Amino acid sequence: MKSKFGIILLAILAVSSLALCAGAFANPFMSSTTVPNVSSTGATAVGLQRDSVRMYGAMQSWLTTPTPTPITGAIEVLARTQVGPKNTIQGYAAAAIWTTNLTHPIATPVKSRENFTYTYDTARLVEGNFSALDFNGNAFYLNGTWNVWSITENFTIVTDSTGHVISIDRNQNAVRLAIDAYGNVTVPAGWTTFTLDIKGVAPLTGKVVAEVTISSVFNPFMLGMDSSTTTVTKADLDSIVNAYGSMPGWGNYNINMDFCMHNQIDICDLSTAAANLNA
């Protein structure tokens, strides 16, 4: 395992780090007029205000008519706003995955040794438009345009005489439910529940599993003062290696490791984490 891990790392030395796709937008979390000054060696300098939000949620109900449908799945939302004296930059990333197949979970602890068909739906934020904390009585709000797909995958598993998996044939059929459709994520006060509502698709609701909100003021010439990042350790990389190749419905897939958010733990996710090792 160590040699395999070393080879993988050597192959991705030149990768870029994980970052939100940033663009210039109006309506930041805070306006530049609220950015306080910070003192440095007796002189007054303008600090930068950074607000970051990261939320994980567990899907519970699809509000289909006439009766809501129980579902299982997950949503991940990231938003960052940085306000300086000259401009405001906002970045967004969001993806969700859910299934009505409650007998076969998205993440199975043991790889299947039998042929099976698995259907799930997925939504991805194509372009963020606005995000805010404490917006209209809600703890958090984000809107933009989304793509939504229903995906059916047929797995043919080939095993040897001892039952070990020797090959996997994966045939995928995707049907679009919504393309460039307006939608929003709303988290009411208290950070306990959320709603994902995309035009043309029945709203989805669930509970907030974890959330982190960070607001900080830092001097751009003292980057060490910025405490809005976390440290990636070798243990994190080991976890991704152990889940490498897994997909929803097969293997130990975990959306928290799917940094590229395309429903498979692969070189993109491993290289993202490796590029941020000890950072």
3-state helix, strand, coil in the chain (%, to 5): 15, 50, 35
Whether residues 46 and 144 fall in one domain = yes
Same domain, 2 and 137: no
Q: Are residues 81 and 192 in the same domain?
A: yes
**pLDDT interval class at 243 (50, 70, 90):** confident
Q: Is 123 found in the same domain as 66? A: yes
Is a pLDDT exceeding 90 seen at residue 192?
Answer: yes
Instruction: Tell me how crowded residue 9 is: count the other CB atoms within 10 A of its CB.
Output: 15
152 and 201 inside one domain? yes
Q: What is the mean pLDDT of residues 7-19?
A: 34
Final residue belonging to a domain, choices 182, 210, 226: 226
- Whether 138 and 41 map to the same domain: the answer is yes
Residues 84 and 190 in one domain: yes
Bigger pLDDT: 226 vs 87: 87
pLDDT in the model for residue 51: 77
Which of 12-16, 42-46, 129-133 has maximum average pLDDT? Answer: 129-133
Instruction: Report the amino acid identity of residue 110.
Output: V
Same domain, 39 and 60: yes
Q: What percent of the chain has pLDDT over 70?
A: 72
Dist. CA 178–CA 65, nearest whole Å: 18
Per-residue pLDDT at 35 exceeds 50: no
Could you tell me which residue, 192 or 9, shows the higher pLDDT? 192
Is the CB of residue 267 less than 8 Å from the CB of residue 9? Answer: no
- Over residues 175-182, the mean pLDDT reads 95
Q: Are residues 179 and 266 in the same domain?
A: no
Q: Number of folded domains in the chain? A: 2
Work out the mean pLDDT of the chain and round it to a whole number: 75
Query: Of 193, 211, 226, which marks where a domain is finished?
Result: 226
**Which band of pLDDT confidence, cut at 50, 70 and 90, is reported for residue 47?**
low
Whether residue 220 has pLDDT greater than 60 = no
Do 88 and 135 belong together in one domain?
Answer: yes
**Domain limits for position 12:** 1-18+228-279
**Do 129 and 234 fall within a single domain?**
no
One domain for residues 52 and 4:
no
Q: What is the CATH number of the domain that holds 272?
A: 1.10.1330
Dihedral sign for Cα 81, 84, 88, 91, please: negative
